[in-house]
Chains A and B, each alone.
Chain A
Amino acid sequence: MAQVVEGESRPASAWQVATPLGAVAGGPGRRAWGPGLVLAAGFVVFVALVGVLAPVLAPHDPIKQDLGNAIAGPSAQHLLGTDDFGRDVLSRLIWGARPALLGVLVAITTASVIGLPWGLVAGYAGGAVDLVLMRLADALLVLPGLVIAIAITTALGASLTNAMLAVGIVFSPVVARVLRSGVLTVRDREYVVVTRMYGLRPRHRMLQHVLPNAVGPAVIQLTLLTGISLLAQAALGFLGIGVQPPAPSWGDSLASGYKFIIVDPAATAAPAVVIVLTVLAIYRLGDALRDRLEIPA
């Protein structure tokens, strides 16, 4: 990871440093479906299921207030207690899985929809087009991500979709850069170059050969960004910028639990643990994906 040899190998953005590959599972290497991977995959599936089945699983209505019973500790009725509005913490946690995964989906889709064409065009076209597009990306990557995301959310209006859209926009230059270097590698390979003699349009080359072969590293980057976007979502929710009250979200659960943390730390610990575990599971899956994609093809 040292960058001593050339200035070129310096990381371009905090994102690349913050989630070094192998963050969880260690260095690269072909690992079979070991227990860690199974656990990770299982956990993500579990969270997804919880979100889908929330109406069935949650013991209480997550927004129903019961002010007389506010900040009650864990009990048989409320396994994790109630929050400062008397709402059941556990139910809010269960329901919070929905915006969590939905939000991550929005963020990653946005990052892809903006970043992939950006990187593809820049890498394939080369020359001035590439220069301009990449200068733009570099300029954006210098800026503090969370601050920009908050700024964009201000403009768009505070909501889950807008907040995650903003996060996706902040991520897109990273995706663009990664795809672009993939494209540069593949663009001059013989199987691409030779198709020019077959009277086929450039679009054929780009979509059939260049993109599929160049997209691997970008996909890996996207899985890393998935983990980060979950953290971003928790952060923005904590600040009250994402999901708007009274709708439940993990970030909001953190914020509200914090208000009475001294009395009932479980109300804060539960969402914290869930968030951290989900992020770790996502990183682990990303590592596995990277292992698989790195088979010499």
Chain B
Amino acid sequence: MIPTILKRLLAVVPTVVVATLLVFSLEQITPGGAAEAAAGPTATPRQVAALKHQMGLDQPVPLQYVTWLADVARGRFGQSVINRQDVGAEIAQRLPVTLELTLAALLVALLVGIPLGILSAARRQSRIDGVVRSGTGLGLAVPEFVLAMFAVDVFALKLGWVPPTGFTPLSQSLASNLQGLILPALALGSGAAAIVTRQTRGAMVEVMDSPFMRTAWALGLSRRQIYFRFALKNALISVITVIGLLAGALLGVAVLIERVFVIPGMGSMLVDGVTQKDFPVMQGVTVVFVAIVIVINLAVDLSYAVLDPRIRR
């Protein structure tokens, strides 16, 4: 068991190196130079040079990378070029928001997707199956943020069931926090739900079609037993495989949803920094996003190894 964990941890290192190198190098390759961008169009060459020194950009590149990495590892992301606020502190505030949203969306995806997938598989080729399949097809094609916009229009603005924008932190009020989260989570989770539905259905159908199942059926096990003991297990394993990838994708799309619902998460922070080339913000937020994704994938990898002894190596 321990060697498996160690091996997986070791496998993560190249990913971390590549990701951090990528994020770091963005500042180096930006056309026009990072210091120039930070200084603004009216700065004199001397001001730019001073800024360059202040930002540490005149050091040899490998040294810059190492110092930057060390800082990042300690959570020191620098100051935003736009508003001079400490990036680390701001991330700390916004991170729980984005996490809550993403987690809620993931929950939606699982709670909707798995039952639908099971239903679809159990009633294969029926009208229900057809409806589900079309639904997922649409869910995959319609971008979540578009769905979000119309959901807001109908459920928030016209029907008034939930507030259209804004976000109440958990610490303030659980009820309004959840209320404000329903629509965003549903919208964000729609695409993922479609994927989970298809995965579940596919996995169940595959087991149901296998010769093994026919033997079990012939041996007299009831249909329900078959479904719930074997096919479902296979389906769940298949879904777990995908959770890591889904989480990563959801984090990305959360950026869009945060914009639609005006949720003060990390996504909006990232977007705001783009046009101004706010490197501390961009790098800080990206690194944190990447770290989250890597951790989630690691967790999935490990739980996968625990659940399915065949995968354990």
Contact = CB atoms under 8 A, between A and B. Distances in A.
User: Is there any pair of Cβ atoms, one from A and one from B, under 8 angstroms apart in the complex?
Assistant: yes
Interface of A: 1-7, 10-11, 13-14, 17-20, 23-24, 135-136, 138-140, 142-148, 150-158, 231, 234-235, 238-241, 254, 258, 261-262, 265, 268-269, 272, 275-276, 279-280, 283
Contacts of A138: 15
A153 B274 contact: yes
A2 B206 contact: yes
Interface of B: 14-15, 17-19, 22-23, 26-27, 29-32, 137, 140-143, 145-146, 149-150, 152-153, 157-158, 191, 195, 198-199, 202-203, 206-207, 234-235, 237-238, 241-242, 245-246, 248-249, 251-253, 255-256, 259-260, 270-271, 273-275, 277-279, 282-283, 285-286, 289-290, 293-294, 297, 304, 308, 310-311, 313
Nearest to A271: B146
Cβ-closest 9 pairs across A and B: A146-B252, A1-B202, A2-B203, A139-B18, A155-B26, A14-B249, A139-B15, A144-B252, A2-B238
6 contacts: A148-B22, A157-B32, A234-B146, A239-B259, A239-B271, A261-B150
B203 A156 contact: no
B277 A157 contact: yes
Contact of A235 (B256, B273, B283): B256
A2 B202 contact: yes
A20 B199 CA distance: 10
Contacts of B17: 139
A268 B206 contact: no
A146 B102 CA distance: 15
Contacts of B141: 23-24, 276, 279-280, 283
Contacts of A241: 271, 274-275
Most A C-beta atoms less than 10 A away, residue of B31, B260, B274: B274
A11 B146 contact: no
B308 A262 contact: no
A143 B277 contact: no
Nearest to A170: B252
Given A14-B249, A276-B146, A147 B242 contact: no
A156 B31 CA distance: 6
A7 B300 CA distance: 13
A225 B29 CA distance: 26
Interface class of chain A by DSSP? helix
B308 A4 contact: yes
A150 B270 CA distance: 8
B246 A14 contact: yes
Given A145-B252, A147-B289, A238-B145, A261 B15 contact: no
A147 B267 CA distance: 8
A89 B239 CA distance: 42
A158 to B, nearest CB: 5
Most B C-beta atoms less than 10 A away, residue of A2, A10, A150: A2
Nearest to A140: B18
B15 to A, nearest CB: 4
Contact of B251 (A17, A20, A144): A144
A213 to B, nearest CB: 29
Nearest to A24: B137
Given A1-B199, A239-B271, A155 B259 contact: no
A158 B275 contact: yes
Nearest to A227: B141
Nearest to A136: B18
Contacts of B198: 1, 20
A11 B275 CA distance: 34
Contacts of B238: 1-4
Given A239-B271, A265-B150, 7 more contacts: A1-B203, A3-B237, A139-B14, A139-B17, A142-B15, A147-B252, A276-B143
A154 B18 CA distance: 19
Contacts of B253: 146, 235
Contacts of B294: 142
Contacts of A144: 248-249, 251-252, 289-290, 293
Contacts of B274: 150, 153-154, 158, 239-241
Given A18-B140, A241-B271, A258 B149 contact: yes
Contacts of B251: 144, 147
Contacts of A283: 141
A232 B14 CA distance: 27
B260 A146 contact: no
A150 B271 contact: yes
A167 to B, nearest CB: 12
Contacts of B248: 14, 142-145
Given A145-B252, A147-B252, A261-B149, A4 B237 contact: yes
A67 B237 CA distance: 57
A201 B284 CA distance: 48
A157 B282 CA distance: 13
Contacts of B195: 17-18
Contact of B27 (A2, A18, A155): A155
A4 B240 CA distance: 11
